[in-house]
Amino acid sequence: MTPFFISDFLNYLKVEKRYSDHTVIAYQGDLQEFFEFIQPVAIVEATHQLIRSFIYFLKEKNLENTTINRKISSLRAFYKWLEKRNEIKINPLSKTMLLKQPKRLPAFVHETDVKEQKIENIFENSGFENLRDRLMFELFYQTGMRLSELIELKVADIQGASVRILGKRNKERIVPVSPDLLSLINQYIKEREKLEVKSSCLLLKNDGNKLYTKLVYRKINYYLGILTNVEKKSPHVLRHTFATHLLNNGAGIEAIKSLLGHSDLRATQVYTHNTFGQLKNIYSQAHPRGRKI
């Protein structure tokens, strides 16, 4: 049985915060687990020490720090809500810090795996679905746009040799389009016109309706599975690949920041990693003994 305070909080998330069902369910699971752990102590009587005991309990279950941090964040939001409602006098999470997480480099695809010839070999050059799928793939790789940006991309956003992208918080950016990508866009638009649809979105399903997230994920996962052995396969991996290849070929970090639509340079600096091959080249060129490699 879910306690009243938790039920009320979940309703607040759904109605006032307009969180998705998926997010609300995640909160519910985290809070229910905590509620069961602290029994018979009441929710509003939880202490900082009890929170620490719960975190230790989660560690004992060999959960990753990312998972534990999500649960801590759920509890933080819940107790902050209780505090605002004057249900508690002291917030038991006021001094609780998130656990340190190892910094992971963004997954990306090597240049040899996305050469034009390799991509041409897996896509047919005719038919609406084939052209759409290739255009979807190329837009991710050649412009670095986000999944949400691709789904919302309009026909009118193709402006000559550039594409207008409406990003987070309605921040607009203009990204150049290569001649081959522009040619592919024009080919696709000709096929798209045969559908005789009124939708302003550029990329559509076979029935003329708007694309949805799972379809795009499934398509990109499939094509990346053919092209590369990279473990993680998603549209965001192609965004990482776009940024990494620009950086590896001499683009400045500020320019990459603008192309990605980042508001903070720190978000872009995560791409300043090097492949082993690059490090080997740098070492062999810069170190006196390295020239013998």
Which three-class secondary structure string do you get for 17-59? CCCCHHHHHHHHHHHHHHHHHHCCCCHHHCCHHHHHHHHHHHH
In CATH terms, the fold of domain 4-84 is: DNA polymerase; domain 1 (1.10.150)
Segment 25-30 shows an average pLDDT of 94
pLDDT band at residue 291 under the 50/70/90 scheme:
low
| Class at the top of the CATH hierarchy for domain 111-264 | mainly alpha
Which pLDDT score is estimated for 1? 52
| 158 in Cβ contact with 200 (< 8 Å) | no
Which pLDDT score is estimated for 171? 86
Query: What amino acid is encoded at 126 in this protein?
Result: S
Closest Cα to residue 140, out of 209, 201, 206, 224? 224
CA distance 235 to 221: 8
pLDDT band at residue 139 under the 50/70/90 scheme:
very high
Residues of the chain with CATH 1.10.150.130: 4-84
Residues of the chain with CATH 1.10.443.10: 111-264
Name the average pLDDT for the chain: 89
pLDDT in tens, 177-195: 999 999 999 999 999 999 9
Query: What amino acid is encoded at 81 in this protein?
Result: W
Q: Which residues are catalytic?
A: 146, 168, 236, 239, 262, 271
Which pLDDT score is estimated for 209? 94
The pairing of strands 162-166 and 172-176 is antiparallel
Q: What percent of the chain has pLDDT over 70?
A: 90
Closest Cα to residue 75, out of 50, 41, 100? 50
| 34 in Cβ contact with 3 (< 8 Å) | no
